Amino acid sequence: MMYPLKKCLSLLTVIVALYILPASSIYAADQCTSFTGNGINNWYPFSYRNAEGELTGIVVDGAHEAVKRIGLTIEIEPDKPWKRIMYDLEQGKVDMVLGAYWNSERAEKYHYSEQLGTDELRVFVKEDKQFSLNSNEDLIGRSGMRILGGSLGDEFDNFAKKHLNFIEVPKSDTIVLMLQNDRADYGVLGYVEGLLHVQGLNLKGKIVPLALPILSNSMHVLINKKAYCADKVKAMNTAIVEMQNDGTLDKIIAHHLSQISKRPQ
């Protein structure tokens, strides 16, 4: 007589679980097959769109390989401006942003991947307006430009809020054009990214980077903590560490640097 009672109790347990547990806890395993992701279209060599409009780059390809190793995929969203991409992440409309620096405010809101590269940042200026740059203090009193909605890391961001005068510009190549048109004294760009924009805009020799980098920032993926696959971030990070150790990440970096060097001069 106990057997039917046990069956009833088991069924009751399942029913109670369906009502008590959050839907995300019940269905996450079934729904976690892929992340959605996006990245800025011209952040060379970390995140950029190729001639076919496909998002690629060191961070993008590194993230693809890492999630592949844990049995998942990344579905790339259509091209959008950086600020809109970050808005989509905040609103849960996209799971990942493929390429971002670390800062404490973001770390409270999102998961961070392990490091997928290092970006050296330089101050770009008009050739006839170069100045001595030995520390961030040398930027005080000059007008600068940076990407709209971007962060350059806690230390520089805090210094900039207190001491620097920045114009925020939607696109990094626009910074180069605005320098040429004397809209500001300098612009902060990734070294490779900036050189490619200068080359692409036929401004080689007219817009130049100052000799010393002002920052060297690690590159990461940002992940929404409420994404269906958010519980896979630990496994993804383990895969990234394996890629660092087995040489896979070095090969990805070398590939994109070689692709950049082959671009027409």
Q: What is the pLDDT of residue 260?
A: 74
- Domain 32-116+219-261 belongs to what topology? D-Maltodextrin-Binding Protein; domain 2 (3.40.190)
Domain boundaries, the chain: 32-116+219-261, 118-217
Could you tell me the CA-to-CA distances from 165 to 130, 182, 215 in Å, in that order? 18, 15, 18
The whole-angstrom separation of Cα 99 and Cα 59 is 6
| pLDDT of 4 strictly over 70 | no
Q: Do residues 55 and 43 touch, judged by C-beta distance below 8 A? A: no
Encode pLDDT of 142-193 as tens digits: 999 999 988 898 999 999 999 999 999 999 999 999 999 999 999 999 999 9
Beta strands in the chain (DSSP E): 34-38, 42-43, 47-49, 55-56, 73-76, 96-100, 110-112, 118-126, 143-147, 165-169, 186-190, 207-209, 215-218, 220-224
Q: According to the model, what pLDDT value does residue 211 have?
A: 92
Confidence of residue 10 (pLDDT cuts 50, 70, 90): very low
Q: How confident is the model at residue 259 (pLDDT cuts 50, 70, 90)?
A: confident
Does pTM surpass 0.85?
no
Structure confidence by residue, pLDDT tens digits, 33-63:
999 999 999 999 999 999 999 999 999 999 9
What separation in angstroms does the CA of 167 have from each of 3, 183, 191, 208? 74, 9, 19, 19
pLDDT digits (tens, 9 = 90+) for 197-229: 999 999 999 999 999 999 999 999 999 999 999
Please give the helix or strand (H or E) that residue 59 lies within, else none.
helix 58-69
Which is more confidently placed, 30 or 139?
Answer: 139
> Model confidence over 59-108: pLDDT tens digits?
999 999 999 999 999 999 999 999 999 999 999 999 999 999 999 999 99
pLDDT in the model for residue 77: 97
Q: Which CATH superfamily is domain 118-217 in?
A: Periplasmic binding protein-like II (3.40.190.10)
Check pLDDT > 70 for residue 5.
Answer: no
The answer to whether residues 119 and 101 touch, using CB atoms and an 8 Å cutoff, is yes
Domains 32-116+219-261 and 118-217 fall in the same CATH topology: yes
pLDDT of 122 reads 96
Give yes or no for residue 6 having a pLDDT over 70: no
Query: Does 16 have pLDDT greater than 60?
Result: no
CA angle, 4 then 10 then 16, to 5°: 135
Sheet containing 55-56: which strands, arranged edge to edge? 42-43, 47-49, 55-56
Query: What DSSP character marks residue 210?
Result: -
Hey, how many other C-beta atoms are within 10 angstroms of the C-beta on 82? Answer: 24
In order, the DSSP letters of 180-209 are: HTTS-SEEEEEHHHHHHHHHHTT-BTTEEE
Residues sharing a CB contact under 8 Å with residue 210, sequence separation 6 or more, in sequence order: 122, 123, 124, 125, 130, 131, 133, 186
- Tens of pLDDT, residues 113-125: 999 999 999 999 9
